[in-house]
Amino acid sequence: MVGKQIPQAWAVLIGCSLSGLALAADDRRLTPANSGAASLAAPRVALVIGNSNYAQPLKNPVTDARAMAALLEELGFVVLRRENLSRPLMEGAIREFGDRLRAGASVGLFYYAGHGLQVDGENYLVPLGEDLTREDEVKFHTVNASLVLAKMESARSGTNIVILDACRNNPFRSYWRSLQEGLATMTAPVGTLISYATAPGKVAGDGSGDHGVFTSHLLREMRVPGTPIELVFKKVRQGVVAETAGKQVPWEATSLQGDFFFTAKPDAIPSIAAPMSPPAPSGMVKIRGHRNILDFWLDTMEVSVSAYQECVASGACSQAGTASYCNSNRAGRNSHPINCVSFQDAKSYCTYQKKRLPTEQEWMLAGAGAEQRPFPWGTEPPGNQLCWNRTDQQGTCPVGSFIAGNSPDGVRDLAGNVWEWVLNTCDEGRVPGPSGCSGSTEFPIARGGAFVDQKVGGVGIAAREATLGGQTRWGSVGFRCARDAELSPETREASERTSLSATPFRPSLVRIPAVHNKNGVPSSGVLLVGATEVTQGQYKRLMNFNPSEQFVDAEGSSRPCRTRGVGDDLPVFCVGFIDALRYANALSRMEGFSPCYDEQSSGMWGTIANCSGYRIPSEIEWASAATAGHTVKYAGSDSLNEVAWWKGNAHGKVHPVGTKKPNAVGLYDMTGNVYEWTVDPADGNPRSGLTPGSRIVRGGSFFTGETAQRLSARADHPILEISTGVGFRIVRSNP
């Protein structure tokens, strides 16, 4: 700690000065707030806390906080107002504030009114309900002011403002032996202004009017149009000094790099109509994307009984189960997570909220992070961080009760309390063993463990349940919702640059500049086509099994696939038509696109209009990509051996993808290796010899002769059967 001046000493911060905070001379380049109304066009977020109801109550902090919150809202801030907070709630509010800043705010403002203390050279805010009579325990019962500064620094907001009206008389003076007034220095991020109601080491009274002296002057000066922030606080100081006859002198320290105005100049006010970034959704936190997962918003808490009941009252949701163990049927459980809701109930609620369930990959990223933590809170084994059977729970706990179990992003209850439905179904990722699928029904996946679990492996990131029927209402299963995040221009640009590269889960993508629709007319969009057929390694990493090693049929029975080669770089085969659609949907969800196939439609899967995700090509798309505008016999050449693995050179097995010459646009194996599924039904085509209940396959395979390899050749395959000679490639529309 830099600049500790009173080692092993205690000092009361009476008056707003928690410390004479020193501002770091940091060489990072941060964007300063612009002058005038231009600064109003950027997101501005404030956290306002007023603590009055101590054992010896303070008169003005709550009224000061309410007035400050109202003014800040009037000035265009998104305001989080909190009153009379306990320590856990106070820490939670600061974390939420940090999350809002990280979501893209250009200005962060923190206002605190209440008691503040300096302990052993560090500064602390005093919550309600804590015993501070033992001076050696005080810092364990308060909130370190550095937490606010840390949240601001990590968010890299362009402008940070900290206003500390923590300057009341110390009610604990009689209990402490080593009381010594004095201030420690702290480091704060560059681009910060810190204001105190009085000078370091001095006392500011609570005030006899409706507001404290400092805040009353501040509220007035912040309203004056066109006043730079430095001049605002100078005028506040002049007013307070005059009113108190010099007994109270407000103080500030600043390292702001640009001009900032609370209220724009009159001639600049019309500019506030400029588009603003959307505010953070209430009760959600933004999870930063990683690898193939884009940024998304996730509910901080599991959906509560009271929130779900609002949906029921609106008619958009079905009533939850009414068994004795169902929270909606038990008194005093409104703040507990809703349970006894089916997968469909959860989807309906999220739709009602204009959200969706998170994908399994999103849930895992929120819980494990990019660093792959075993538990949401880190590596420490589970104990009192969650609601589970080892804490003698007889049922669920109120949502968000276990702050120690928070993820670094502030998401609560990802381990324990209730299992949480995710969008993926068990059939998308069939896993052998006790957590695998049973039967042909689609089994939605639930993650995270519940209050009934008592084994370490039953809670946390690895906990996965895939044997729950989606229509059943389970007493240990609830959910939370997610929604897509607006991408920043930088994120969108980076995503575009990397979107064509291969990933562990799919091939690289090739842009096809002119795709023709069924009428032969060029479409206005661009088609992204897999450069190769999907490989066994890619399929296995995404779907958790390799059908080319062991195929699991529609009834859940496994039987060996006749081996024609097993290896990560070989094309996947023995993959049915529905398996190809499931892979496309799972890949879409992983990369943040909307799935193209309706997994809930009866019978055969339906196609979702206007989807943005991956799909299986139509026959006309496949043919257009294969020919690439050239008149050749095979895809890329008139020489078969140059471009294809076929009966004449394959020796009865598949070969690694991409080892033959590509066609004119860089697509490999459009001829030979394995046939490729298209979505076109064979029975809807006038050509003869195509079996009803089949889909057209194109391209020939390793075991077919020369005629079948020609670009003019067509075949069909029953959708409910598998073959060692049939695989697939993916496409995605890119308007």
pLDDT digits (tens, 9 = 90+) for 651-684: 999 999 999 989 888 899 999 999 999 988 886 5
Band (551; pLDDT cuts 50, 70, 90): low
Above pLDDT 70, what percent of the chain? Answer: 75
- What's the pLDDT score for residue 99? 83
Rounded Cα gap, residues 263 and 510, in angstroms: 51
pLDDT for the residue 690: 44
- Beta pairing class for 597-598 and 606-607: antiparallel
Two tokens at 451?
Answer: 């209050």
The conformation of residue 228, written as its DSSP 8-state character, comes to: B
Counting residues of the chain whose pLDDT is more than 90, the rounded percentage is 26
Per-residue pLDDT for 364 more than 80? yes
**Which residue has better confidence, 525 or 693?**
693
Mean pLDDT of 126-150: 85
pLDDT value of position 94: 93
Report the predicted TM-score, pTM, of the whole model to 2 decimal places.
0.40
Smallest CA-to-CA distance from 120 within 162, 182, 172 is with 182
Which stretch, 19-33, 352-366, 698-712, has highest mean pLDDT? 698-712
Nearest Cα to Cα of residue 143 among 130, 156, 157, 161:
130
State the pLDDT at residue 161. Answer: 94
Least confident of 152-161, 257-266, 393-402: 257-266
DSSP E strand boundaries for 306-406: none
Residue 721 pLDDT exceeds 80: yes
Among 57-61, 291-295, 354-358, 696-700, which range has the highest average pLDDT?
696-700
Cβ neighbourhood burial of 502 (10 Å; 0-12, 13-18, 19+): middle
Per the DSSP assignment, residues forming a β-bridge with 259 are: none
Provide DSSP, 602-629.
Answer: SSSPEEPTT--S-BPPPHHHHHHHHHTT
d(CA 668, CA 661): 7
Structure-model confidence comparison of residues 178 and 149, the more confident one: 149
- Point out the least confidently predicted range of 20-34, 380-394, 435-449: 20-34
pLDDT band at 412 (very low <50, low <70, confident <90, very high): very high
How far apart are alpha carbons 99 and 287 in whole angstroms? 9
Does residue 354 come out as left (phi exceeding 0), alpha (psi in the -120 to 50 range) or beta? Answer: left
Tens digits of per-residue pLDDT, 207-226? 566 788 889 999 999 998 88
**Whole-number average pLDDT of the chain:** 77
pLDDT at 276 > cutoff 60: no
Between residues 555 and 391, the one the model is more confident about: 391
Helix or strand holding residue 108 (H, E): strand 107-113
pLDDT above 60 (res 604):
no
Helix, strand, coil percent values for the chain (each to nearest 5):
25, 20, 55
Reply yes or no on whether the pLDDT at 64 is more than 80: yes
Mean pLDDT of 381-387: 87
- Given this model, what pLDDT does residue 20 score? 38
Q: Who has greater pLDDT, 248 or 349?
A: 349
Stretch among 172-181, 333-342, 592-601 having the lowest mean pLDDT: 172-181
